[in-house]
Structure 1
């Protein structure tokens, strides 16, 4: 008896039951193992093959073995809990039992699933634009907050190309400083892009803290912006619509690039791009003058404008009328109008703002479609701190801003190079070693500082940047 019990305990990780009405000849249960049951030695013979004089003792041993002391109707649950494998009659034909398939699919047909409109609950409207409305929502799949960008479809026009472009680009972008696209829902009337929910944007953040942000916070925001841009630029993607409204800010201070409706993913530079890109205040002078031959330098001008705005507390070039007015503000270097001067008069002036361009300062400017020298007043360049005094209070800020705000596109600093500028020398070295999906705030010493001042201002739904904005976060 003891010998038989020991034999059974050694081999009882596999047990065979014979049940006439189950549809299976043998059910082999392998406890806590994913190995397949193959060969005759992996299955213990049913009781009817055991000699009569030993059958009673075998039955008593089996009934005392706790994990398997269950009615036949509970065999399926044992299978599920212990990674069982099943040898069925149909195994020889390679077909799985219908009963097993039903058991292996735990989700109910009525349970919420990704890709379904009824899997998300709308909570409140966040903003509305010309072709989309953004809602705060909640996922019924995992309970997380989301942002639902609902794009209206019209039979005559079909799906807006900006929505198709945004969805196709974001599906392939995985970075902590780029808004995450969770899901895409397509119905007859709408196309809904489901994003991670981020509670505010840089525009609202700056309006809440007027007069310029804390210098340490500006440094962290700019580092994250450059980190996200470097990621997409290395993949030949241009954002083409950088502005504070399109930079989301989480409650921990994480900055995320959003709204890729104008982004392009092609070999750069290209001669086929439009010059009708970027909100007026953040549009570079080469594009304002009609250039379509641009590359990643297009985005870097916007970085310079946003950098100045975060430090100074006001927009760098707030054009109020049209493209001509915007260009005048960019070229204006001092409030004193001057006559044309030879370029040698400006020798040795580093960190200067702009001035009216010429072939000497901007090779090829005369060939741009909209450049008419007689239309522009000639202004001399000057130090950036003379235009934005707070740049002079922060180490290396003026020099870095001047590297972004270059009229000649090829002179602008790239995102990757800017990450290694001296302006960031006080940040922990670990920030340059982080994986793409790791936030800079995973480094223990990195955190936002309290901002001085507070305001209840918010961005208007139609701003004065030269075009309407949805004021939405996505």
Structure 2
């Protein structure tokens, strides 16, 4: 790796390991290196790692997903991965690493929103930019969903921004899993609280694409407000934030809600006027947001349908 890339700085810890900003010595291109420690098993590279990599490679053909440029094995000859005669103990001793090499982007949506909220010159994000970023996010999410992949951890920190080109890209698909029908049961301790769908907070084990669309709605509102819509600091508080704004859900509104695993008797709040929470959005924007924040996952708008919503009528879609 040292021959190919010059590590410049550590930029974070991803789901699977450390992330470095680096430079490709041959081309001068900036890249993000994600180092993943591999626990070798009898077959070599764990199947989960191979699945993740093939998914990332397939998905990153979209402009709106961070591009996976290459995959590097380090710590042994590649033949050790597939050579059945190679001593497993020797393989383990060498502690092989797998580096995923991604395109590098220097900012994420959280930092971008913060730069408009703080500092000497606080200012709203232009409506045209909110519209453009949201359309690109829906396009990226629709791309994932059409390939059977849920992200499950969409948040502003996971959306990288190319400021020069005005492009938004989805990153950290580390938790994405191919879903099948019927949907597999997933553990629910995954999505960051503020963007977590109510069905997840209430203990559902059956995820659908709708969990990502709730997160998209929260991100949309945050771009418009420059602050989080539901900033809960525990699962219980998170639900109360949601219920205070959208009203406490009932069986009428969301059939089956009161028999969910973590349902309790909550205070009864009436729904508030959503437009007051996002004053900078026009009527079409508020309508689209309300469709993303439906309680019943079956009623929530899909990413593909969202892209056809009248909120985007004034957007020049040919540029995407």
Structure 1 residue 132 corresponds to structure 2 residue 39: no
Flag the 1:425–1:131 CA change in 2: closer, same or farther, 3 A.
closer
Any unmatched runs of 5+ in structure 2?
A: 75-94, 118-122
- Contact preservation (8 Å) 1:247, 1:258: yes
- Contact preservation (8 Å) 2:195, 2:215: yes
Q: Indicate the residue corresponding to 2:64 in structure 1.
A: 177
Q: Indicate the residue corresponding to 1:327 in structure 2.
A: 239
1:208-247 superposed matches below 5 A: 208-210=115-117, 212-247=124-159
Q: Indicate the residue corresponding to 1:104 in structure 2.
A: none
Q: Indicate the residue corresponding to 1:385 in structure 2.
A: 275
Flag the 1:162–1:281 CA change in 2: closer, same or farther, 3 A.
farther
Please give the secondary structure, in 1, of the residue aligned with 2:11.
strand
1:269: Cα distance to partner? 5.2
- The 2-side partners of 1:396 and 1:224 are apart by 18
How many residues are paired up?
Answer: 291
Please give the secondary structure, in 1, of the residue aligned with 2:32.
strand
Flag the 1:195–1:129 CA change in 2: closer, same or farther, 3 A.
closer
Q: Indicate the residue corresponding to 2:253 in structure 1.
A: 361
- Contact preservation (8 Å) 2:278, 2:286: no
1:357: Cα distance to partner? 0.8
Flag the 1:162–1:277 CA change in 2: closer, same or farther, 3 A.
farther
1:275: Cα distance to partner? 1.6
1:43-442 superposed matches below 5 A: 118-129=3-14, 131-153=16-38, 165-173=51-59, 174-187=61-74, 188-210=95-117, 212-251=124-163, 252-268=165-181, 270-320=183-233, 322-333=234-245, 354-373=246-265, 376-391=266-281, 394-431=282-319, 440=320
1:153: Cα distance to partner? 4.1
Provide, for residues 293-346 of structure 1, a one-character-per-residue CA deviation record: whole Å limited to 9, x for no partner.
Answer: 2211110000000000000111010002x111110111013xxxxxxxxxxxxx
Any unmatched runs of 5+ in structure 1?
A: 1-115, 334-353, 432-439, 441-474
1:161: Cα distance to partner? 8.2
Please give the secondary structure, in 2, of the residue aligned with 1:390.
coil
- Contact preservation (8 Å) 2:197, 2:211: yes
- The 2-side partners of 1:430 and 1:193 are apart by 32
- Contact preservation (8 Å) 2:218, 2:229: yes
Flag the 1:162–1:134 CA change in 2: closer, same or farther, 3 A.
farther
- Contact preservation (8 Å) 1:269, 1:294: no
- The 2-side partners of 1:221 and 1:326 are apart by 25
Give the TM-score normalised by the residue count of structure 1.
0.58
1:13-28 superposed matches below 5 A: none
1:450-461 superposed matches below 5 A: none
Flag the 1:294–1:130 CA change in 2: closer, same or farther, 3 A.
closer
- Contact preservation (8 Å) 1:179, 1:256: yes
- The 2-side partners of 1:145 and 1:155 are apart by 30
Provide, for residues 391-432 of structure 1, a one-character-per-residue CA deviation record: whole Å limited to 9, x for no partner.
Answer: 3xx24111110000111111110000000100000122524x
Larger gyration radius, structure 1 or structure 2: 1
Consecutive aligned runs of 4 or more in structure 1 exceeding 6 Å deviation: 158-162
Q: CA RMSD in A?
A: 2.1
